[in-house]
Amino acid sequence: MRILINLIVLIMVLFVAPASRGEQDITWDSLNPETRQLLQGLESGWDQLSPERRQNLIRGAERWNAMQPGERREMQQRFRNWQERSPAERRAIRQRFERFRSLAPAQQQRLRDRADLVDRPLQQCVEQGGEEDAQQ
C-alpha cells in the first residue's frame, strides 16, 4: 500500500498541475469511498495537509482509479524505476521536467513530436533539443 501512495504522489508531482489557490478545503469524510480507500495511508495526517496538497492527491487518485489495469502496471513499473534512481538522478530528472515545462506549448509539442518520430524518450529530446527549440 505504501508503494501505491508513493505512486500517487509521483503521479501528482509529475503529471498533475498544481491546484489553484483558494480552492475549498476538503475533509477526509467528504472523499468518495474509492478515493478514501486509495489514500487510506494518509487518513491520520489528512488534516495537516494543505488544501492544495489534498486537492492534488485527490486528482492523482482519480487518475489512478480511471486507469486500465495495463496502465496501472506500467505506472507501477515506472515508479519502481523511479525508486531505483539515485537522488542525483531524480534531481536531474526534475530539472529536465521543469525546463520542459518552461518552454512554450509549441516548443513542447515539437519535442514530443521529435520523440515520437525517433521512438526515444521525451527526456532525451529535451536534453538534446531543448536549447535549439528554446531559441526558435
Number of domains in the chain: 2
Is the pLDDT at 125 greater than 60? The verdict is no
pLDDT tens digits for range 40-80: 999 999 999 999 999 999 999 999 999 999 999 999 998 89
Residue 6 sits in the same domain as residue 29: yes
User: pLDDT (tens digit, 9 = 90+) per residue, 5-18?
Assistant: 666 666 665 555 44
What is the per-residue pLDDT for 9? 62
pTM of the model: 0.55
SS (H, E, C) 3-36: HHHHHHHHHHHHHCCCCCCCCCCCCHHHCCHHHH
Which amino acid, one-letter code, is at 97?
A: F
- Examine the fold and report which residue of 84, 106, 126 is the final residue of a domain before the chain moves on: 84
pLDDT band at 20 (very low <50, low <70, confident <90, very high): very low
**Whether residues 25 and 62 fall in one domain:** yes
Residues 28 and 43 in one domain: yes
- Full residue range of the structural domain in which residue 111 is found: 87-136
- 72 and 91, same domain (yes or no): no
Residue 27 sits in the same domain as residue 52: yes
